[in-house]
Chain A
Amino acid sequence: MFVGVGIGYALRKVRAVNVVGKTIPLTIYALLCLLGITVGANSYLVSHLGDFGGQALLLAVLGLAGSMAATVALSRWTRKGGGK
């Protein structure tokens, strides 16, 4: 990735470099399709997709709640610190 940052910075004035804006989503879709093939070919994974969905929902709710709680706490703390 850092090699890419260097290449991108060196070629930032070359218009053709903007093509990565279109190729990134295509590469991601290809990778997800490949991940899907791995999942689909695995009958255990297919039969437990609902179970994985429940676990994913729990992780999503906790991650979301944690990030918001920490941000609110840090904002209050920095505001207090700034007032002193």
Chain B
Amino acid sequence: MKGTLCVVGSFAIGCLIGHLSGSDMGAQDISLIALYALMLQVGISVGSNKGLKDIVATIRPQSLVLPLGTIAGTLILSAAASLVLSRWSVFDCMAVGSGFAYYSLSSILIAQVKEPTVGMQVATELATIALLANIFREMMTLILAPVINKHLGARALISAAGVTSMDVLLPSIVNCSGKEMIPLAIAHGIIIDLSVPFFVSLFCSL
């Protein structure tokens, strides 16, 4: 919850600075450098994880079914959203869905990758929608975790959590479904985490 507040707070402070100054002060150029730095750090974090080998060892072909379901289901219904949101193409909606609750990275990636093709205005609009949509996804899962677990099961809860099944939502998953779901939830989170830059970049370039 503290993390989510920091995310919303950082965005809100930025909005205030931008609104008061009336200029983006070269934020786009600085963002690109910071984004590369972020990707490098995420890579270092994954590579240096001491438990990585154990987690990889627990992954069976069957455990790949869960992230596959998360990705397929999210993308299919995100694509369907374009029927209602006529302003956005199927691929724009799928790019937003591809965040899988990873609001920070997905919104920043969308802003950067879309800008050269559609311009800063439209890219920033879609990035803002991605930020809000993925924050909403995390919050709804956090609030509805017990209900999802009771009616649809532990796997549906992990799937709903998206990337956050390995961090923010992990305590809720353990509370609702038990400790035996931890390896599956972490493996699911890592696989989805790695898929976010791939899918967001892919759908933004189509």
- Which residues of chain A have a CB within 8 Å of any CB of chain B? 1-12, 17-18, 20-21, 23-25, 27-42, 44-46, 48-49, 52-53, 55-75, 78
Contacts and interface: CB of A to CB of B under 8 A. Distances in A.
A20 B41 contact: yes
Nearest to B137: A60
Contacts of A73: 69
B163 to A, nearest CB: 12
Interface of B: 3, 6-7, 10-25, 27-28, 30-31, 34-35, 37-50, 62, 65-66, 68-70, 72-78, 80-81, 84-85, 88, 93, 96-97, 100, 104-105, 107-108, 111, 120-121, 124-125, 127-134, 136-137, 140-141, 148, 152-153, 155-156, 158-160, 162, 197
A56 B130 CA distance: 7
A62 B38 contact: no
Contacts of B96: 56, 59, 63
14 contacts: A1-B197, A7-B40, A8-B49, A20-B44, A28-B10, A32-B7, A36-B10, A37-B25, A39-B11, A39-B128, A40-B17, A41-B25, A60-B140, A62-B81
B17 A4 contact: no
A64 B75 CA distance: 10
Contact of A65 (B22, B70, B77): B77
Contacts of B159: 67-68, 70-71
